[in-house]
Structure 1
């Protein structure tokens, strides 16, 4: 008789609680911030190793799964059709996220009477603030070399190269059969390694939470309670809108998808990294019935074009800082800012604090003090948890919907049979 195993998602929840307790013990035992930060640094080694291992896998995993997926689509017109549908969803979801952030920050006014000393206007957050141009975006999207894109983990550049490579293999037909088979084997090898790495996820979650609380304590949450509360209320609304949009196409099955991605959701929340959840989301989509040729194509695109939580945070944070310094932004300026953010946020990496660079550039363009970023840096990790988890939800729903549009989503009965196959082939 088999022993009942705790679900992985429950292990992650337990790890989060233990991490908070451990972190608070360090914070209260070592009042000196330098000492606490030093201890937190050693604790964080575990989560840093985990995230590095994930980053080590992301490039080869995206390349191998995407090339095979595109090659199996058959021709460039099929790739173009899926690309168009995915991009249409991403643009709509991005616009919705930005507008919601703008509406909620105007409605809730989190920056008014913030009750905290404002950083000096001349202070710098030491983040890149170069102005964005279309030339920069196109230059960033096209890789100078595939090796450089893989070395720097530039997902968008890897996607561009992989699409060309996959289309070329599809055009070669039988001549490319051996190469496609070899790359397919590579993807399975990468997924096997991913399985090994994921076994340390609860430890990484515990370390990440412990390090965060040990450095900042829990009292910082009280100081920023209004700002954080307003932001999470806005996130809950965004989750609701994303789920409703998914339900419009997937029906009640969207609830099944949410159950399947709960582990990925908690992992991205606890580590404040969308990338950490990527392999888990791929597995969840497999189990939901999304065919791999769709998920391996749409998911990497989503990590560059569909970071819904990060995008909403951009408008919310910029307006919070403007309100804190009592800078009035007319509606026309806010709409201009929204449209600029629509472009600057594309290609934003799904890694901790990447959105801060985009916010810094936006503040610079609209003459809002960059020093305002110093206001939110202390709690940014806690905010990053929510927006990273939102990115995971948004990309999962987007991929499932595109699969449905393409007729590449298995029925519930087919998905159940596929699940049984996956369970039988999984390592003990």
Structure 2
């Protein structure tokens, strides 16, 4: 007998949607009070972030160990990286193309000499130390546990992959270690299930602060850039990711309906990390194999950032147009190549895209666009960070299904059943272990996370 649906007010995505609307209202009517609520959003993201590193570690180690074949691990990883680079490059090129066609900054006429660089000094200083060598050295943590404590996703990926490879090579002894790690992962998933219930509070505080701090007028002042970015990202999802999804055998619109809860949480918090464990569970619900989900989703958070890539090239061209700078073909090529590097590790946390933009600008040879020009978009970057995170999230979900299909490990029947009724199937993140095979008939009708 199917379980009764929760009343509408207990459904998570409705709670988050109401919280976002209330946050906008409070931030607009009571801006000072809205700014004081920043801690709600920060606290929620901090709670999620404290669990991300151990969840990724447990998931990747168990995923590699459960495959048992290092050749297959390498094959899946290689396929994922190829997919990431191809689609990410397309995103970068689309940002350049739209920037050149629409020219959102052409009529801005900003004087570089009058820009106040102190407002972006923090971002510029971070970018200055982001050389290629520094980028590589940053992959290596000071100690094994420092990676887990610090939460740097690239460092966590490194120690997780190394551990998974070693555990696999231990044979039967390694299986007991893998089982213990899997049990620990289940504990972390259940903790996340409790934390996600606070998503409406986090979304309310984050949105109230954003509107209170920057005001809707900031969006109006730079509406052409913000609107261009949102439309570009939407078209990228519908056309590029939609085309990939169609080839893989599902509809992008039904997929978006299936992950509506996660999309609204990301919209409210501006961070795709807040729904990482939940997305892993939902990808299994769609029929993707455990091994692919365990490898593709975590690595995608560092290597498959489509929204961030579109933002970096589009914003760079906007700033160049705003200050009247003419970029050469070589500088265009450098922007794309540098952005491919600097975007790695921008894990979806609010502000990461702004830092990578500063790093990209700093690396352009004979750059006619001063880093100080970033002050022109500082006030609206927060509004664009939501779009970056949303696009990144959708891109990683599609990538997981595609790679699983390439591996011949996609359950087509399960995928078709879920996609036939994307609004009526939810996920109980607190009750589903990372490696459980979730059959379609076990789906809970309610979309709330209980």
Q: With structure 1 as the length reference, what TM-score do the two structures score?
A: 0.91
1:111-169 deviation line (CA, Å, top 9, x unaligned)? 11127776725624112232654322322223332211112111111112111211222
Instruction: Indicate the residue corresponding to 2:387 in structure 1.
Output: 386
Please list every run of 5 or more consecutive structure 1 residues that lacks an aligned counterpart in the other structure.
28-35
- 1:273–1:351 contact (8 Å) kept in structure 2: yes
Name the SS of the counterpart of 1:218 in structure 2.
helix
CA distance in 2, matches of 1:427, 1:18: 21
Aligned 8 A contact 2:111 2:323 in 1: no
Report the alpha carbon displacement of residue 4 of structure 1 after superposing the two structures with TM. 4.0
1:199 partner SS: helix
Match of 2:234 in 1: 236
Which stretch has the larger CA shift, 47-56 or 412-421? 412-421
Q: Does 1:377 align with 2:375?
A: no
- Indicate the larger mover: 151-160 or 89-98: 151-160
Q: 1:254 to 1:110 in 2, by over 3 A?
A: closer
Residues 170-192 of structure 1, C-alpha deviation per residue, up to 9 Å, x if partnerless? Answer: 22221122211111111110110
- In structure 1, the partner of 2:14 is 10
Distance in 2 separating the partners of 1:83 and 1:8: 34
Of stretches 242-251 and 298-307 in structure 1, the one that deviates more from structure 2 is 242-251
Alignment of 1:149-164 (within 5 A): 149-164=147-162
Larger mean Cα displacement after TM superposition, 110-119 or 184-193: 110-119
1:145–1:406: structure 2 CA closer, same or farther, 3 Å change rule? same
Kept in 2, the 8 Å contact 1:16–1:209? The answer is: yes
SS in structure 1 at match of 2:128: coil
Aligned residues: 418
Determine the structure 1 residue equivalent to 2:428.
Answer: none
What corresponds to 2:268 in structure 1? 270
- Please tell me whether the aligned partners of residues 108 and 323 of structure 2 are also in contact (alpha carbons under 8 angstroms): no
Comparing 44-53 and 99-108, the one that deviates more: 44-53
Match of 2:58 in 1: 64
Residue 135 and residue 117 in structure 1: after superposition, are their counterparts in 2 closer, same or farther (change >3 A)?
A: closer
Q: How does 1:129-144 map to 2 (within 5 A)?
A: 129-130=127-128, 132-144=130-142
Which secondary structure state, in structure 1, belongs to the residue aligned with residue 89 of structure 2? helix
Is the counterpart of residue 145 in structure 1 residue 147 in structure 2? no
CA RMSD of aligned residues (A): 2.3
How far residue 284 of structure 1 moved from its aligned partner, in angstroms, is: 1.7
Partners of 1:207 and 1:121 in 2: CA distance: 31
Partner of 1:31: none
**Structure 2: gaps (5+ residues):** 419-437
SS at match of 2:271: coil
- Counterpart for residue 33 of structure 1: none
Residue pairs, 1:314-333, within 5 angstroms: 314-333=312-331
- State the match for 2:197 in structure 1: 199
Q: Provide, for residues 75-112 of structure 1, a one-character-per-residue CA deviation record: whole Å limited to 9, x for no partner.
A: 21011000000000100111011100011111111111
Counterpart-to-counterpart distance in 1, 2:302 and 2:287: 24
Matched, 1:45 2:39: yes
Distance 1:327 1:255 in 2: 39
Report which stretch shifted further, 414-423 or 201-210: 414-423
Give the conservation status (yes or no) of the 8 Å contact 1:350–1:388.
Answer: yes
The yes-or-no answer on 1:26 pairing with 2:30 is yes
Matches within 5 A, 1:275-424: 275-366=273-364, 367=367, 368-413=369-414, 418-421=439-442, 423=444
Cα deviation, residue 360, structure 1: 1.3
**Counterpart Cα distance in 2 of 1:87 and 1:138:** 17
Q: Which residue of 2 aligns with 1:100?
A: 94
Distance 1:380 1:133 in 2: 24
Aligned counterparts of 1:163 and 1:422: Cα–Cα separation in 2: 31
Query: Aligned equivalents of 1:353 and 1:173: distance in 2?
Result: 43
How many angstroms apart in 1 are the aligned matches of 2:96 and 2:343?
A: 15
State the TM-score, normalized to the length of structure 2: 0.87
User: How many angstroms does 1:285 deviate by?
Assistant: 0.8
Equivalent runs, 1:169-188 vs 2, <5 Å: 169-188=167-186
8 Å Cα contact 2:58/2:181 also seen in 1: yes
Task: Give the superposition deviation at 1:354.
Answer: 0.9
